[in-house]
Amino acid sequence: MTRTIRTRLGLSALITSVLLLTACGAPLRDVPKLSSVELDPERTALALREVQTLHAMGARVWCVPFARNASGVQIRGNANTWWPQAHGQYARGHTPRIGAVMAWTATSKNPRGHIAVVSEVVSDREIRVDHANWKRNQVSLKMSVIDVSEANDWSAVRLESQPGSYGSTYPITGFIYPTPATAL
């Protein structure tokens, strides 16, 4: 083999190797998600600043004020009252959307209910939520929630309470969208 041929073969192998390594390290593009919308970062920052203020004063952090600040849905009262209060005021439904408030149904173990803000739609059966006081007096961001309902209608969910570990099943009333009731 002549030196010119070996040089060309070596250069070709080098270029091929570089291209393959570059392709392996390239980020995935257009990964399908149900939504490419993101939460309003100013609202999230406001909600987190309020939590810091409450902690500094030694006050308790609750899910309702956090969700109100993070979503812009201006409802007051315990979490279990949000769904009926939203009727006629905010659009409601059973499909998760970024920025929607997910309303837990009140149960004997959770008589005041719970609410969280949808921060990401991962798939038709998984979302991530931002919420307060699921873990006492703490904020949990991007917590995974999976739909475990038989009808795939988001009426029953499990939350990832520890990395890789989903807890009990909880009934969900639905999603309150931060848009007027007449919008949908």
Q: What is the pLDDT of residues 42-67, one digit of tens each?
A: 888 888 899 899 989 999 999 999 99
Identify the bridge partners of residue 112 per DSSP, sorted by sequence position.
none
Whole-model pTM: value is 0.77
pLDDT of residue 134 exceeding 80: yes
Q: What is the CATH number of the domain that holds 173?
A: 3.90.1720.10
pLDDT band at 3 (very low <50, low <70, confident <90, very high): low
pLDDT at 20 over 60: no
Domain range for residue 157? 41-183
48, part of any domain: yes
Residue 35 domain-assigned? no
Residue reference for tokens 């970062």: 41
Task: Tell me how many domains the chain contains.
Answer: 1
Instruction: Tell me, yes or no, whether 9 lies in a domain.
Output: no
The mean pLDDT value of the chain amounts to 83
In a domain, 72, yes or no: yes
Residue that is written with structure tokens 């149900």 in the block: 34
- 14 lies in some domain: no
Residue among 99, 127, 86 at smallest CA distance from 42: 99
**Mean of pLDDT values over 61-89:** 96
Check whether 16 has a pLDDT greater than 90: no
What are the φ and ψ backbone dihedral angles of 172, each rounded to 5 degrees?
A: -115, 135
143: in domain: yes
Q: What is the pLDDT of residue 17?
A: 43
* Other beta carbons less than 10 A from residue 67's beta carbon: 27
Whether 158 is in a domain gets the answer yes
Residues facing 101 on adjacent strands: 117, 176
Q: What tokens does 26 get?
A: 């390239």
- Torsion 114-39-128-181 (CA) sign: positive
Q: Is residue 5 part of a domain?
A: no
Q: Which residues contact 24 (CB under 8 A, 6 or more apart)?
A: none
Closest CA to 175 of 55, 84, 94: 94
Question: 101-104 and 165-180 as β-strands: parallel, antiparallel, unpaired?
Answer: antiparallel
The mean pLDDT value for 106-112 works out to 93
Packing angle, helices 41-56 and 63-71, rounded to 10 = 150
Q: Amino acid identity, residue 127?
A: I
> How many C-beta atoms surround the C-beta of residue 101 within 10 A?
30
Q: Is the pLDDT of residue 171 over 60?
A: yes
